[in-house]
Every structure is written in C-alpha cells, then in structure tokens.
C-alpha cells in the first residue's frame, strides 16, 4: 500500500513543515540548513503577538549545522524568525553553541539532551538538530561514495554500512540484505511451533 486511504470528512487545523537542505561548502565542510514552520489554518490570538492571521507562522525556526566528513559539528548558526515569545530568541542563540564539537552518530539524542536538553534549550530546535543527522547520513556518505566512483555499491570490507540493522528493510536477516549485500546477510533460525 503506497497511498493513504481517503480520509473521513475533516478540516485542517495545524501544519508543521520541516525541511533539511544539504550543501558541500568550498572549504570541504558541509552545511545542513534546517527549518521548522508551524502554522494554523484559522486566525488565532497569541498572548504576546496579538492576532495571528491564518497561515502566519507561530514558529519559524532555522538552524545551520556545519559538519565535517566525520559528522562532527564545527559551527552552529540559529535563529527564531517567528516565535511565541521574545525569549525564544535567547534559546535559539547561545545554548545552541553547546552543540559544537558533538558528533552525529550513536548516542546522538543523548548528546543533544546533555547539551541543550530540558530548560537548557528549545524543544523545537532539539527536534531539528536530532533529525538533521538523518539528512547528514543521506548526504555525506552517499556523496563521498559517488565521488569515489562506487555509486550505491556495498563496501567490500568486513564492516557493514552504518544503516544496516537499523530498520526493517535493512535487517541483517532480511531479503534486501540477502539480495544486495549477501556478504552481510545473517539468517536467523525460525522458532519451532
């Protein structure tokens, strides 16, 4: 099933849009530009911003993470273009600098929470930088493989790619791994009865 079924009659209320764009910089580093936008389908009254017309962002937050090939954050730029409170600008500024030096990979969520978790940062910015890791994984290793002439070939060494064993499709005992990377295929014994 590729499409969702036709829904029951309904009306729009809230839209959250999140985007990630990846760029190779001239200095060899990578920029991941992250944007989060929340809008309402009807006009709402906000405590400090007054009447907000339908479609006007409640949140419009941006983060630029500059990373190296090892996915270590080298620089962070962030801002809250639209937010419920003026104090949101503070959460988008200084606290985000605590991410510099962290590496996207195992323990990434815990590293983010340690740097800007709870009242040490903004919930929405944490969500953005957490999910920026998947954009980085899609961008950097693939681009480097293409530059090396490997395309989407599996590595020939003894170590499987980082994404194997991380989802149903790439299960070590699944048909995709058996078909496209048999060197990493690990059948499991079926339990009797």
Domains of the chain, by residue range, sit at 14-42+49-147, 160-193
Residue of 180, 184, 79 lying closest to 122 (CA atoms):
79
H/E segment holding residue 59:
strand 59-67
Element (H, E) at 33: strand 30-40
Determine the 3-state secondary structure of 119 from DSSP: helix
User: 161: pLDDT confidence band, cut at 50, 70 and 90?
Assistant: confident
Q: What is the pLDDT of residues 84-119, one digit of tens each?
A: 998 888 878 889 999 999 999 889 999 999 999 999
| pLDDT score recorded for residue 167 | 85
- Highest-pLDDT range among 60-74, 154-168, 170-184: 60-74
CATH class of the structural domain 14-42+49-147: alpha beta
- Nearest of 37, 3, 23, 4 to residue 135 by alpha carbon: 23
Q: Is the pLDDT of residue 42 over 90?
A: yes
Question: Helices 108-116 and 123-147 meet at what angle, rounded to 10?
Answer: 140
Between CA 4 and CA 18 the distance in angstroms is 20
Predicted pLDDT of residue 166: 81
Higher pLDDT, 148 or 147: 147
């Amino acid at each position: 099933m590729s499409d969702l079924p036709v829904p029951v009659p309904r009306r729009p209320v809230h839209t959250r849009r999140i985007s990630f764009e990846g760029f190779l910089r001239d200095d060899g580093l990578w920029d991941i530009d992250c944007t989060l936008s929340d809008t309402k389908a009807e006009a709402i009254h906000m405590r400090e911003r007054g009447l907000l017309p339908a479609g006007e962002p409640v949140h419009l937050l941006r983060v630029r993470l500059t990373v190296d090939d090892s996915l270590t954050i080298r620089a962070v730029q962030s801002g809250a273009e639209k937010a419920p409170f003026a104090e949101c600008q503070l959460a988008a500024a200084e606290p985000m600098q605590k991410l510099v030096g962290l590496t996207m990979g195992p323990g990434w969520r815990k590293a983010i929470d340690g740097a800007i978790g709870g009242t040490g940062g903004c919930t929405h910015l944490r969500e953005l930088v957490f999910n920026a890791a998947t954009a980085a994984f899609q961008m950097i290793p693939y681009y480097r493989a293409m530059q090396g002439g490997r395309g989407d070939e599996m590595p020939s060494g003894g170590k499987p790619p980082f994404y194997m064993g991380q989802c149903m499709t790439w299960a070590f005992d699944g048909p995709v791994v058996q078909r496209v990377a048999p060197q990493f295929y690990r059948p499991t014994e079926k339990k009797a009865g």
